[in-house]
Chain A
Amino acid sequence: MAGKTLFDKIWDAHVVEVIKGGPSVVYIDKHLIHEVTSPQAFAGIDKRGIGVFRPQNTVATPDHNVPTVDQHLPIKDQLSRFQVDKLTENCEKHSITLYVLGHPFQGIVHVIGPELGITQPGMTMVCGDSHTSTHGAFGSVAFGIGTSEVEMVLATQCILQPKPKRMRINVEGELLKGVTAKDIILYIISKITASGGTGFFIEFAGSAIRELSMEGRMTVCNMSIESGARGGLIAPDDKTFEYIKGREFAPKGADFDKAVAKWKELKTDDDAVFDKELTYDAADIEPMITYGTNPGMGAKISGRIPVEQDIEKSNLMSFNKALNYMGFKAGDSIVGKEIDYVFVGSCTNGRIEDLREVAAFVKGRKKADNVTAWIVPGSKQIEKQANEEGITKILEEAGFKLRQPGCSACLAMNDDKIPEGKISVSTSNRNFEGRQGPGSRTMLASPLTAAAVAVSGKIVDPRTLL
Chain B
Amino acid sequence: MAIDKFLTIESSVVPLPIENVDTDQIIPARFLKATTREGFGENLFRDWRFDKSDQPKPDFVLNQNVYSGSILVAAKNFGSGSSREHAAWAIHDYGFKVVVSSFFADIFKNNALNSGLLPVQISEEFLSGIFEAIEKDPATKLKVDLINQEITLLTAGEKEGFEINSYKKECLLNGYDDIDYLLGLKDVIEQFEQSRD
Report, as a range, how many residues of chain A touch the other chain. 35 or more
Nearest Cβ distance between residue A406 and chain B, in whole angstroms? 13
Q: Is B178 an interface residue when CB atoms closer than 8 A count as contact?
A: yes
Q: Is B136 an interface residue when CB atoms closer than 8 A count as contact?
A: no
> Which residues on the A side are within 8 Å of B20 (C-beta)?
194-195, 294, 318
- The answer on a CB contact under 8 Å between A412 and B29 is yes
- The answer on a CB contact under 8 Å between A195 and B47 is no
- The answer on a CB contact under 8 Å between A21 and B103 is no
Nearest Cβ distance between residue A121 and chain B, in whole angstroms? 15
> Which residues on the A side are within 8 Å of B107 (C-beta)?
130, 144-146, 230
Q: Knowing A155-B179, A314-B76 touch, does A147 contact B35 (C-beta < 8 A)?
A: no
The residue on B at minimum CB distance from A148 is B114
The residue on A at minimum CB distance from B104 is A198
> Which residues on the B side are within 8 Å of A23 (C-beta)?
165, 167-168
Q: Is B11 an interface residue when CB atoms closer than 8 A count as contact?
A: no
Q: Is A93 an interface residue when CB atoms closer than 8 A count as contact?
A: no
Q: Is A435 an interface residue when CB atoms closer than 8 A count as contact?
A: yes
Cα of A148 to Cα of B86 in the assembled complex, Å: 10
> Which residues on the B side are within 8 Å of A146 (C-beta)?
83-85, 88, 107, 110-111, 114
The residue on A at minimum CB distance from B87 is A146
Query: Which residues of chain A (64-78) have a CB below 8 Å from chain B?
Result: 64-65, 77
Q: Knowing A147-B85, A148-B115 touch, does A19 contact B105 (C-beta < 8 A)?
A: no
Cα of A156 to Cα of B180 in the assembled complex, Å: 10
Q: Knowing A148-B114, A314-B19 touch, does A434 contact B179 (C-beta < 8 A)?
A: no
| In the complex, per-residue mask of A160-187: 1 if CB is within 8 Å of any chain B CB, else 0 | 1110100000000000000000000000
- The answer on a CB contact under 8 Å between A16 and B88 is no
Which of A39-47, A397-405, A453-461 contacts the other chain? A39-47
| In the complex, per-residue mask of B13-53: 1 if CB is within 8 Å of any chain A CB, else 0 | 00001111010110011101111110000000001000010
- The answer on a CB contact under 8 Å between B182 and A318 is no
Q: Is A79 an interface residue when CB atoms closer than 8 A count as contact?
A: yes
Q: Is A190 an interface residue when CB atoms closer than 8 A count as contact?
A: no
Cα of A21 to Cα of B164 in the assembled complex, Å: 9
Nearest Cβ distance between residue B101 and chain A, in whole angstroms? 11
> Which residues on the A side are within 8 Å of B86 (C-beta)?
147
> Which residues on the B side are within 8 Å of A159 (C-beta)?
178, 182
> Which residues on the B side are within 8 Å of A83 (C-beta)?
33, 35
- The answer on a CB contact under 8 Å between B83 and A129 is yes
- The answer on a CB contact under 8 Å between A22 and B77 is no
Q: Is A17 an interface residue when CB atoms closer than 8 A count as contact?
A: yes
> Which residues on the A side are within 8 Å of B192 (C-beta)?
16, 27
Q: Is B189 an interface residue when CB atoms closer than 8 A count as contact?
A: yes
Partner of B167 from A19, A50, A77, A158 at Cβ < 8 Å: A19
Cα of A37 to Cα of B34 in the assembled complex, Å: 10
Q: Which residues of A contact B (CB under 8 A)?
A: 16-17, 19-23, 25, 27, 36-37, 39-40, 43-44, 47-48, 50, 53, 64-65, 77, 79-80, 82-83, 86, 128-130, 144-149, 151-152, 155-162, 164, 194-195, 198-199, 228, 230, 294, 314-315, 317-318, 321, 411-413, 420, 430, 432-435, 438-439
Q: 4 new A-B pairs (CB below 8 Å) besides A17-B185, A48-B179? A: A36-B33, A198-B77, A228-B80, A318-B18
Q: Which residues of B contact A (CB under 8 A)?
A: 1, 17-20, 22, 24-25, 28-30, 32-37, 47, 52, 75-77, 80-86, 88, 103, 105-107, 110-111, 114-115, 124, 165-168, 177-179, 181-183, 185-186, 188-189, 192-193
